Copies of this chain bind each other. A is one copy, B any other.
Amino acid sequence: MFFIPDSFIEKLLAEDLPIMDVTTEALGIGDAEGAVECFPKRGCVAAGIEEAARAFEISGARVETFYKSGSELDAGTIFLRARGTADSLHASYKVAQNIMEYSSGIATRCAAMVKNARRASPHAEVSVTRKHFPGTKQLSLKAALSGGASIHRLGLSDSILVFDQHRTFVGGGGEFALKIKDMSRRFPEKKIAVEAGGEEEAVLFAKAGADVVQCERFEPELLKRVIPRLKEINPGIKILAAGGVNAENAFDYAASGVDALVTSWVYFGKPEDIKMRFCAIPNLL
């Protein structure tokens, strides 16, 4: 269960619909009964389905869903059907479509990365960063999870990850290395992760006791050479590849032996094309 509160969906609707669809009103078609069926234009991993369903329900339509978010669907597979008045359908279908298109885009890209990475290494993880579009944390993370990825960090308060921007305030590499042990003691329930900018830094941090080394913009070839050195220092250490990782190079990165591929790339591409087929339901009386 991914918790996306109704109030969030309600707000998305309210933003698009301050009061009504003036076009429906102008045409005088509000009370006509109809239905809308949703299907992807090409094969994809559909996501955002539950939130789209709530959007339709909040605007007064009745919804059936045939697949859950995370399902890999062929082009044309209907996965959601909403029925109601033209009023209720027009009030929400575009918001519903937008949620599903952006979510499915992220999920499909995640799934592609996971697939490519796992071909090279069956236990490689794909982890999504907090570099999603501000204001979309819940939709973006749920979409990524639907696509088989996991979450790198929710935000600043849930994990320790030392960036260069932190080290600016600490002093030289040696001084910082001393701090790792200390942090480890003070936060016994958390792993100490450190971003390394090059091979020697990675080795330094491993020796200093880092639990996780996040290798920023290391080529796969470099990783292949570095990882054995790091695992020799600490067999339990986890190595992450970050920076420029995507579906295309996921195989190579995974093949290098990293434990996880950290990615923001999945957030950036095109939304999937989710078709919304409308039909009017003739009044049979």
Contacts and interface: CB of A to CB of B under 8 A. Distances in A.
A93 interface: yes
Nearest to A271: B268
Interface of A is mostly: mixed
Interface in A229-266: 236, 238, 240, 259-260
Given A131-B98, A135-B136, A16 B188 contact: no
Contacts of A16: 130, 137, 155-156
A222 B161 CA distance: 35
Q: Place the interface of chain A in its size category.
A: 35 or more
Interface string A140-166: 011001000011111111111111111
Given A29-B169, A168-B278, A169-B29, A190 B188 contact: no
B1 A150 contact: no
Contacts of A2: 19-20
Interface string A76-117: 000000000111111101110011011000000000000000
Contacts of A49: none
A212 B193 contact: no
A58 to B, nearest CB: 8
Nearest to A267: B271
Interface in A1-50: 1-3, 5-8, 10-30, 32, 34, 36
A237 to B, nearest CB: 10
Given A133-B136, A169-B27, A188-B260, A154 B212 contact: no
Contact of A157 (B19, B123, B270): B19
Interface of A: 1-3, 5-8, 10-30, 32, 34, 36, 58-60, 85-91, 93-95, 98-99, 101-102, 123, 125, 127, 130-139, 141-142, 145, 150-166, 168-170, 179, 183, 185-193, 212, 236, 238, 240, 259-260, 268-271, 276, 278-280
Given A19-B142, A26-B183, 7 more contacts: A19-B145, A19-B154, A23-B162, A27-B166, A91-B156, A99-B134, A188-B259
